[in-house]
Amino acid sequence: MDNGIIQVTISSPDGIVTGIQYNGIDNLLEVEDEEVHRGYWDLVWSKTGSTGTTGTFDVFKGTSFKVVVETEDQVEVSFTRTWDISLEGGVVPLNLDKRFIMLRNSPGFYSYAVFEHLEEWPPFNLPQVRIVFKLRKDKFHYMAVADNRQRFMPLPEDRLLDRGQPLATPEAVLLVNPVEPEFKGEVDDKYQYSSENKDLKVHGWISLNPPVGFWQITPSSEFRSGGPIKQNLTSHVGPYCLAMFLSAHYAGEDLVLKLNPGEPWKKVFGPVFLYLNSVSSEDNAFSLWEDAKNQMRRETQNWPYSFPASEDFPKPDQRGKVCGRLEVQDRYISYEPIPANGAYIGLAPLGDVGSWQRECKGYQFWTKADEDGNFTIDNIRTGEYNIYAWVPGFIGDYKYDVVVNITEGCDINMGDLIYEPLRNGPTLWEIGIPDRTAAEFYIPDPDLKYINKLYVNHPDRYRQYGLWERYADLYPDGDLVFTVGISDYKNDWFFAQVNRKKEDGTYEGTTWQIKFMLRDVDHTGTYTLRLALATAHLAELEVRVNDPKSDPPLFTTGEIGHDNTIARHGIHGLYRLYNIDVAGVELVEGENIIFLTQAMNTDPLQGIMYDYIRLECPPSTSS
């Protein structure tokens, strides 16, 4: 495909991008790699009944090539692989259609794919779908993921055993003898550059000689799994540039797509835009990031595109619109409804309250409410949806129970919607901010042996490697004790409850204490402890009141979580909310202690992050 600005070479019938020629560079992709490893779609699949997030890795290749559109203004090509029963067990049971589009006068190209599974075919699991571009390591050395997350990056050789020291996870490497001495002593880990879906719209690489940018632009998240705050990989050492559509990162098996017997399924992933730009002078090379952001805004404004040829991608006039206003009714805060300022409101497939964060088969459409709680969601695909929401500052999830049916061209005004967050009585005390992250808690400085210079004095300080090990440094002899009314969660509540490493190299669980005073106790009433978790990984949280040895505990979560957020330098994964009744007879006048024990203790990366904790009085009390 060639429009006079860019020339893209794709293998036929495989559909592998083997070359991208632009601005005098004969190939932006890594010419030292085999052609199949340069620009490709891939997936991971496993047989139904399998557990975990791994499976068979497939850089899926087409078996048939077709020119779908060829005019003066546009070329669209298709690479398809069809499935039949003779392939059972060896190939994922999907019809796959990879598409590439080039437009006149456009410095880039688009790609999307249609996945289809027929109901009579065997079911299977699908943990991952993505596009990968491996760029030239002799050209692209500067990576940009956000305004405040960009830097010169190490070389892939720096991660090899003679130059790098493996750390606690395979992705983390300490650079001990890098090609460029400036990187010595830094940690490289691709997960340090993850982003939430709502922010993951443009990222990529800059070459200084000549000054050229390669950018992956995602104009909509409708086809991504897990909702607006699901985290995905972006770009990383290679240099790699990814477009992630489906992944279990920061969630675990809950976000593995699992088809049931007799279940048909079809989904369009993309289109995404691969954008190239250049400037004449190396002095202006970093302006390519600003230009890429401007192009991202143009692509977003043009969404949904009118030019993809597939009938499975609905055009703008084939979609619908929903608007309304969301308010919060919490009688212990205000007699009048409170505007849901900054609420995340979305349409997602039918499910339970909060099911959107584990949903990965269909499409999701999200927006953020204004300060008065008003929202508009447009360009919605036809179908049946529930309306979901969550409001920063309030616990829990909202779901509008009536099914919303989107038809072509519809414009539905939902009017005023009311979210009543869980509440039994007035707040006795609270710790943290109910915003689904642990970012407000104490995040320590990293061990100086494990620095990523980008995140020194950075808002995302939690992205440094090895912070879990700092807990034992800060609490060498005993665990965290938080005293209500005296302690400050910003300084006195460690961001993750993790295990403690003992001298013999094994690990022990930790028990945190919350101390609080009660002048009066309603011994006949029921108090409510609300525990909102920002993430959990192979953890079990046990709750005891005033007796650290009570067996059984007042409450246990059982084993929860495969988020792996601690290891992957995140600050949240899947949201979990637990509501625990505390009988008044369990409490005493004077000092009370709630004991929070993380009981799973075989691994340094096990643990939980809290989002918010609140103790409520019984509803009838006047204390």
Q: For the segment 541-569, what is each residue's pLDDT rounded down to a tens digit?
A: 999 999 999 999 999 999 999 999 999 99
Residue ranges in the chain whose pLDDT is less than 70:
620-623
- Which H helix or E strand runs over 167? none
- 102 contacts 8 by C-beta, under 8 angstroms: yes
* 346-397 confidence digits (pLDDT tens): 999 999 999 999 999 999 999 999 999 999 999 999 999 999 999 999 999 9
To which residue do tokens 């909060």 refer? 354
Tell me the two tokens of residue 223.
């086809």
- Quote the CA–CA distance of 610 and 395 in Å, as a whole number: 12
To which residue do tokens 């990031």 refer? 289
- Quote the CA–CA distance of 176 and 174 in Å, as a whole number: 6
Burial track 552-584 (b if 16+ CB lie within 10 A, e otherwise)? ebbbbbeebbbbbbbbbbbbbbbbbbebeebeb
pLDDT at 501: 85
Q: Quick one: the chain helix, strand, coil %, rounded to 5?
A: 10, 45, 45
Pairing of strands 211-217, 202-208: antiparallel
- Quote the CA–CA distance of 222 and 217 in Å, as a whole number: 14
In the chain, the amino acid numbered 564 is N
Using DSSP, how many helices (H) and how many strands (E) does the chain show?
Answer: 3, 43
pLDDT at 621: 47
Pairing of strands 607-616, 526-539: antiparallel
- How many C-beta neighbours within 10 Å does residue 478 have? 10
* Best CA proximity match to 569, nearest among 450, 478, 436, 488: 450
* Best CA proximity match to 428, nearest among 541, 555, 519, 336: 519
- How many C-beta neighbours within 10 Å does residue 481 have? 14
- Quote the CA–CA distance of 609 and 382 in Å, as a whole number: 38
Which residues pair with residue 240 across a beta bridge? 134, 236
Tell me the two tokens of residue 443.
């995040």
Q: How far is CA 599 from the centre of its chain?
A: 27
Write the CB contacts of 247 (distance below 8 Å, at least 6 apart in sequence): 127, 128, 130, 225, 232, 233, 255
pLDDT at 620: 67
Q: Torsion over CA of 376, 382, 386 and 390, rounded to 10 degrees?
A: -40
Tell me the two tokens of residue 206.
């800059």
Three-state DSSP at 355 gives helix
